[in-house]
Chain A
Amino acid sequence: MTQTPTPGTLLRLATAGSVDDGKSTLVGRLLHDAHAILSDQLAAVTRSSAERGFGAAPAGSDAGDDPDAGPALDLALLTDGLRDEREQGITIDVAYRYFATDRRSFVLADCPGHVQYTRNTVTGASTADAVVLLVDVRHGVVEQTRRHLAVATLLRVEHVIVAVNKIDAVDYREEAFRAAERDILQVARELRGPGRNGSPDGPEPIVVPVSALHGDNVVTTSARTPWYTPQAQGASAYSGQALLPILEQLPDADALARRAEPLRLPVQSVIRAHDGYRGYAGQIAAGTLRAGDRVRIQPGNQLTEVTALERTRLQAQHAADTSTAATSTAGTSGPEPEVAAAGESLTIRLAGDHDVARGSVLTDPQRPAVELDEVTLQVAWLHQRPAVAGSRVLFKHGTATIKALVTEVSDRLDLTTLRSGPADQLQLNDIGTVTLRLASVLPVDDYAVSKRTGAGLLIDPADGNTLAAAMIQLPDPQDADATAPDSDEDWLNS
């Protein structure tokens, strides 16, 4: 009898690329070589592949360069789930795939490449711990590469990996890979900009040469790319490794960072039960919480005390496991299984009688959220209806949804020059900056500091469609200090 695998952590991945760069084939290859494809799925793909001319003599232009035999399977058929996708050979919407190795479980959001489906790439990237972008080594960086790198940078995805695909089509030549790698790193650097504190925002991409078609450097390191080594000049820490081992090793940085942030617990609902029981249900967005903690109820400045945490058995067990692991590495005080941390769904009880309802946020009194009725947002615009000043929208943030007015559209990112320029409109797929006037104050954070409480949606109040993914940008405290003497605020108050 086989031993049940005991997975470590869960890593959420998103893949993106432009049309025909072999992304679905890469995903199919990952699933196939990681043994995540079961025999009936394989049989269905083998049947369809044969109908589409695979498995015959060297089939298709990709296979023409193959030194061995023509590939027997169209691996893209494993992921292209909709009838239209299979018939047109394209990916239309995000497909979620699940696989596990001995070291980790993966949720993979396979995003379509075509520009009209950029909103799906944003969807996939918003929940991803890592994105894998595909670049065709023969074409290098194209507009979709810039767009996808821009989305990953904007959404601050923790890890960006660029798979330079079809390395077989250039006879596994190092120069071709290095040229693509140089351009990718250059674009990534420009997108990340100088950063707020002198260091660029987010990590540098990890660039890997692969052939999805033949499996080179996907699951195991290929003998056909001997120049791809850990010793390569200017190499990243992962250089020389195949894609899957890299994915297995990526640190779960986001989870640890969220734990260290100040407490944010958006209240989802009030639970009432027997004997006047009142509990406040929610998922901790950032920080940690234990019984006895003082918390601030925002919006507002009322303080209260947490009298009890009511947790599921599994959440408490996991917290105990995690704190034991953290203790053994950090060597600090003993395990604290009573501490609930970011990511946990729980119910808490509070001392006294307070006005706490859905939309309230419980925060760390020492480091509370900023309460604003006007916010500046970086947005990825996801709808045909353009962003213009004067638009009435709904702003969904945490567990609050409030009315808002777009007061300004200030700039738009030009994907060719990678520079932001003035704009008074944002169209579908544009990335830019808008200002919102809110109907009431919201407790918010900067997205760069706290993803969960710095993110929001713009919604069309008429038909309910999601218009944009929004990332809150608070004024840089350093900038604010520097310009304080002649700021508008002072002038208004003088």
Chain B
Amino acid sequence: MTSALSTEAPTAPPAPAGTAVLARLEAEAIHIIREVVAEFDRPAMLFSGGKDSVVMLHLAIKAFAPGPVPFPVVHIDTGHNFPEVLEFRDRTVERHGLRLVIGSVQQLIDAGALQERADGTRNPLQTVPLLNTIAEHRFDALFGGARRDEDRARAKERILSLRDEFGQWDPRNQRPELWNLYNGRHRPGQHVRAFPISNWTELDIWRYIALEDIALPSLYYAHEREVFHRDSMVRAVGPHSLPAEDEPVERLWVRYRTVGDMSCTGAVRSLATTNDLVLNEVASATVTERGATRADDRLSEAAMEDRKKDGYF
């Protein structure tokens, strides 16, 4: 990640046309992050190493530069994460001197507190360790990198979203959210999820990554890897993602549009090895990122809504 605020004249090459949109989104996100930190006692930021959370953390560093980021980052580790992503997470935390809090799905499964699902998907299992981590550390505000263009249920979420004592989201009873005045009042036991990049699209995220030269896990760029096909998705061969006998393995050039669990995230065929090439690919995509690559969102038409009501990200 590059340095955040600078008092010197910009030395980078001029931004391409269209800085108006990104400048407005960046200013809005920084404003939201500063508001939440000012109004809450114990904020924290979800950080998975995925591109959206990487952009959100980059914005947080800018918001408080030259001071330190005034909150810890939280990762809910499913135990099925891509090793490249975990390595990237640790490197980022180290480089910026952040405090990392990990909630573990595997630990809960080992302790018998969580049951593995029949389909092996662990994304829905993250809700319990997430709520446990919030309670244990008494976090009262949790930043998330969710974007409203990702999913129909997310399209309905406020920037500051109140969760009850059980972490539940009640979409029928959300507070009105007016102008840029975010009402974070809450009662003991309740907490707030804050989504500073709500209004960014997948394309905005990639434009910003290219413009700011933000480092991402290598999975986001085209690479050759052993894969098999399942549920009309391309799946990596790995310790938590093994092909069945009737699923032949081949080597393909692929990249990931989203990075979740190895057990539910699919790759897309791609030769895009640089930010600019990815940008072109995203701009001409004909399938949404979740539709292309997330088995967990194919469970039903309201899969995300159901998970969110239970306290998911």
Q: Tell me, in angstroms, the Cα distance from A40 to B293 when the chains sit together.
A: 11
A81-B156, A343-B27 as given contacts; A313 in contact with B291, CB under 8 Å: no
**A-B CB contacts (within 8 Å), total count:** 222
The one of A4, A322, A347 in contact with B5, judged by C-beta atoms closer than 8 angstroms, is A347
Q: Kindly state whether residue B137 has any CB partner on chain A within 8 Å.
A: no
CB-nearest residue of chain A relative to B285? A38
Write out the residue numbers on chain A whose beta carbons fall within 8 Å of the beta carbon of B22.
Answer: 314, 318
Count B-side interface residues using an 8 Å CB cutoff. Answer: 76
Write out the residue numbers on chain B whose beta carbons fall within 8 Å of the beta carbon of A469.
Answer: 176, 178-179
Partner-contacting stretch, out of A200-208, A272-280, A417-425: A272-280
The reply to whether A345 and B27 contact each other, CB–CB distance below 8 Å, is yes
The reply to whether A451 and B24 contact each other, CB–CB distance below 8 Å, is no
Partner-contacting stretch, out of B34-42, B105-113, B117-125: B34-42
CB-nearest residue of chain A relative to B177? A123
A7-B18, A345-B30, A396-B183 as given contacts; A317 in contact with B10, CB under 8 Å: yes
The reply to whether B179 and A95 contact each other, CB–CB distance below 8 Å, is no
Task: List B111-149 residues whose CB lies under 8 Å from chain A.
Answer: 148-149
The reply to whether A38 and B286 contact each other, CB–CB distance below 8 Å, is yes
Write out the residue numbers on chain B whose beta carbons fall within 8 Å of the beta carbon of A451.
Answer: 179
Task: List B246-280 residues whose CB lies under 8 Å from chain A.
Answer: 279-280
A48-B301, A283-B31, A321-B19 as given contacts; A273 in contact with B66, CB under 8 Å: yes
A338-379 vs B: 1/0 string, CB under 8 Å?
Answer: 000001110100000000001000000000000000000000
Task: List A58-99 residues whose CB lies under 8 Å from chain B.
Answer: 79-84, 86, 92-98
The reply to whether B183 and A40 contact each other, CB–CB distance below 8 Å, is no
Q: Tell me, in angstroms, the Cα distance from A109 to B171 when the chains sit together.
A: 16
Write out the residue numbers on chain A whose beta carbons fall within 8 Å of the beta carbon of B284.
Answer: 1-2
The reply to whether B181 and A456 contact each other, CB–CB distance below 8 Å, is yes
The reply to whether A281 and B63 contact each other, CB–CB distance below 8 Å, is yes
Q: Kindly state whether residue A487 has any CB partner on chain B within 8 Å.
A: no
CB-nearest residue of chain B relative to A358? B38
**Shortest Cβ gap from A89 to chain B (Å):** 15
Q: Kindly state whether residue B292 has any CB partner on chain A within 8 Å.
A: yes
The reply to whether A396 and B181 contact each other, CB–CB distance below 8 Å, is yes
Task: List B1-52 residues whose CB lies under 8 Å from chain A.
Answer: 4-7, 9-10, 12, 14-28, 30-31, 34-35, 37-38
CB-nearest residue of chain B relative to A41? B288
Q: Tell me, in angstroms, the Cα distance from A79 to B183 when the chains sit together.
A: 26
Q: Kindly state whether residue B96 has any CB partner on chain A within 8 Å.
A: no
CB-nearest residue of chain A relative to B26? A314
Q: Tell me, in angstroms, the Cα distance from A138 to B281 when the chains sit together.
A: 45
B199-212 vs A: 1/0 string, CB under 8 Å?
Answer: 10101000100011
Interface magnitude class on chain A: 35 or more
Do most interface residues of chain A lie in helix, strand or loop, or is the interface mixed?
A: mixed
Q: Kindly state whether residue A120 has any CB partner on chain B within 8 Å.
A: yes
**Shortest Cβ gap from A104 to chain B (Å):** 9
The reply to whether A96 and B5 contact each other, CB–CB distance below 8 Å, is no
Write out the residue numbers on chain B whose beta carbons fall within 8 Å of the beta carbon of A410.
Answer: none
The one of B35, B292, B302 in contact with A83, judged by C-beta atoms closer than 8 angstroms, is B302
Write out the residue numbers on chain A whose beta carbons fall within 8 Å of the beta carbon of B37.
Answer: 269
Q: Tell me, in angstroms, the Cα distance from A143 to B305 when the chains sit together.
A: 32
**Shortest Cβ gap from B200 to chain A (Å):** 9
Write out the residue numbers on chain B whose beta carbons fall within 8 Å of the beta carbon of A457.
Answer: 178, 181, 183
The one of A95, A315, A464 in contact with B156, judged by C-beta atoms closer than 8 angstroms, is A95
Write out the residue numbers on chain B whose beta carbons fall within 8 Å of the beta carbon of A2.
Answer: 280, 283-284
* Cross-chain pairs A/B with CB under 8 angstroms, 12 sampled: A10-B25, A94-B156, A96-B155, A96-B156, A98-B199, A98-B201, A272-B67, A311-B5, A312-B5, A321-B20, A464-B185, A464-B186
B contacts, CB < 8 Å to A: 4-7, 9-10, 12, 14-28, 30-31, 34-35, 37-38, 62-68, 148-149, 151-153, 155-156, 171-172, 174-181, 183, 185-187, 198-199, 201, 203, 207, 211-212, 279-280, 283-288, 291-292, 301-302, 305
Q: 10 closest Cβ contacts across the A-B interface?
A: A464-B185, A81-B152, A40-B291, A318-B23, A345-B30, A345-B27, A273-B67, A96-B148, A126-B178, A318-B19
